[in-house]
Amino acid sequence: MTATAIVDPTGCGDAFRGAVLYGLERDWPLARCAELGNRVGALKIACAGPQNHRIDRAALGL
């Protein structure tokens, strides 16, 4: 997944880490956790500001 637009990188690392930890907590394979982190980071970079974003699970394509 690639970012559709680079709007604001603030919080992308936090979004990535949060998504990876989400997967690890659910005992997903590390590759799937990293994939989720990359997808969430790509969605985050297209949004302005660091907080209050809603991510549609369907948009993650998992």
The full DSSP string for 8-62 is --TTHHHHHHHHHHHHHHTT--HHHHHHHHHHHHHHHTTSSSSS-----HHHHT-
Can you give the pTM of this predicted structure? 0.81
Tens-place pLDDT, residues 1-60: 565 688 888 989 999 999 999 999 999 999 999 999 999 998 888 888 877 777 777 877
pLDDT of residue 59: 75
pLDDT of residue 3: 59
The rounded distance, in Å, linking the Cα atoms of 53 and 44 is 8
pLDDT of residue 5: 82
The rounded distance, in Å, linking the Cα atoms of 39 and 34 is 9
The rounded distance, in Å, linking the Cα atoms of 31 and 60 is 15
